[in-house]
Amino acid sequence: MTEDRSFTKIQELTYELRVRDAMVADVITVRPKQAIHDLRDMMRDKGFSGSPVVDKGKVVGLISIEDFIKCLAQGEMDVLIEQKMTRDPVTLYADEPLVHAVKKFDQYGFGRFPVIERNGRKLVGILTKGDIIKCLLKKLEVEYHEEEIHRYRASHIFEDIVADKTNLVLRYDITGKDFDRAGQAASELKKALHRLGIQPEIVRRIAIAAFEAEINIIVFTDGGQLSISVCSERITITASDSGPGIADIEQAMQPSFSTAPDWIREMGFGAGMGLCNIKNCTDEMNLVSEVGKGTTLEAVVYLNGKS
């Protein structure tokens, strides 16, 4: 199963990465009018095994170590490169996905492809199979490292700390009628949950539910608390206030039912969607209220799917 997954991952990367990411940009080139014997020095000094033949910036051919050996065997060391090179070689564009390059290696069986710009066809690099493998390994290593850091953040609290049960509580005090700051708690909470390494989609659901709960406390009460309890299997949002309470909870839960004053509607809220939004973003929601005493809303999101 692991093998299957990593195969898919590499396939995915070959679509994501471009030829430019894998190629070697520092290319040794030769000119068509140079003699074959010039290649001898290059082989010795630079470990040459094949090189694009470039005339006026354009790739006109490819000369390989095999071509050189043939010339050596036949004593043709003074012949010009243009007579022995492979003409009009197959090239790759720098902006092509790497998967195209992989296909071309399979299709032609060549050891290398010159890489050119799509516009102007200028030579910008060279690509071998080895370059592709190096690039993929490097990318996999970087992604693995990122994943490791990401996971470490979460495990730092929920795995490294040894206890029978670990529970992290974030509490935000909400001031009633302070609309200017409305949304601040939800926004800060979102940042905190990201740092804890919670999955982005779950962070988003919690933040949306918390935002609506925060707005409700600000609009309808003189203040209250928003607390978020995080443990390894679930996140629980509790919003509590000692405000006026809700007389008819069933009615309050109806979409579009609202008792919000006009000023809050002008601010873009108060359309009666708040409680529905909370319910839709979370796996469980419970609302308890007593007129004159206050309201407590509890909503739960399970971290590993619904329990």
Partner 1 sequence: MTLEEISRTIEAEVITGQDSLKTEVRIGCASDLMSDVLAFAKPDAILLTGLANRQVVYTADVADIHAICFIRGKRPDEETIKLAEQKGQVLMTTRLPMFVSCGRLFKNGLTGLGYLDISKRNDRG
Q: Which of these, 291, 200, 281, 188, lies nearest to 241 by C-alpha position?
A: 291
Binding-site member from 57, 130, 255, 261 for partner 1 (CB under 8 A): 255
262 part of the interface to partner 1, by CB under 8 A: no
For Cα atoms 43, 117, 123, give the angle at the middle one, nearest 5 degrees: 20
200 part of the interface to partner 1, by CB under 8 A: yes
269 part of the interface to partner 1, by CB under 8 A: yes
Give the separation between CA 14 and CA 303, rounded to whole angstroms.
32
202 part of the interface to partner 1, by CB under 8 A: no
Give the separation between CA 195 and CA 193, rounded to whole angstroms.
5
For the CB of residue 272, give the shortest distance to partner 1 in the complex, in Å: 8
Question: In this chain, which stretch among 47-55, 64-72, 74-82, 264-272 interacts with partner 1, using CB under 8 A?
Answer: 264-272
Residue among 42 and 202 whose Cβ is closer to partner 1: 202
Binding-site member from 52, 127, 190, 221 for partner 1 (CB under 8 A): 190
CB contact set of 252 (below 8 Å; sequence gap of 6+)? 246, 275, 287
Q: Which of these, 238, 210, 211, lies nearest to 296 by C-alpha position?
A: 238
Give the separation between CA 64 and CA 125, rounded to whole angstroms.
16
212 part of the interface to partner 1, by CB under 8 A: yes
Strands (E), 176-245: 223-230, 234-241
Residue 134's CB is within 10 A of a number of other CB atoms, namely 13
Do 18 and 94 meet the contact criterion of CB atoms below 8 Å apart? Answer: yes
Binding-site member from 126, 211, 224, 301 for partner 1 (CB under 8 A): 211
Residue among 42 and 273 whose Cβ is closer to partner 1: 273
Binding-site member from 165, 180, 292, 304 for partner 1 (CB under 8 A): 180
For the CB of residue 88, give the shortest distance to partner 1 in the complex, in Å: 36
CB contact set of 197 (below 8 Å; sequence gap of 6+)? 150, 151, 152, 153, 154, 155
Binding-site member from 32, 97, 111, 183 for partner 1 (CB under 8 A): 183
Question: In this chain, which stretch among 15-23, 38-46, 165-173, 247-255 interacts with partner 1, using CB under 8 A?
Answer: 247-255
**Which residue, chain included where needed, has tokens 């065997």?**
73
Question: In this chain, which stretch among 53-61, 65-73, 268-276, 290-298 interacts with partner 1, using CB under 8 A?
Answer: 268-276
Question: In this chain, which stretch among 63-71, 119-127, 139-147, 203-211 interacts with partner 1, using CB under 8 A?
Answer: 203-211
Query: How far is residue 39 from each of residues 58, 80, 112, 184, 297, measured CA to CA in Å?
Result: 20, 11, 17, 68, 79
286 part of the interface to partner 1, by CB under 8 A: no
Binding-site member from 109, 120, 268, 292 for partner 1 (CB under 8 A): 268
For the CB of residue 218, give the shortest distance to partner 1 in the complex, in Å: 10
Binding-site member from 72, 196, 208, 303 for partner 1 (CB under 8 A): 208
Question: In this chain, which stretch among 8-16, 33-41, 123-131, 178-186 interacts with partner 1, using CB under 8 A?
Answer: 178-186
Give the separation between CA 286 and CA 240, rounded to whole angstroms.
12
**Which residue, chain included where needed, has tokens 């409305």?**
182
- Pairing between strand 112-116 and 92-93? parallel
Write out the residues near partner 1 by the rule CB under 8 A: 179-180, 182-184, 186-187, 190, 200, 204, 207-208, 210-212, 253-255, 267-269, 271, 273-277, 279-280
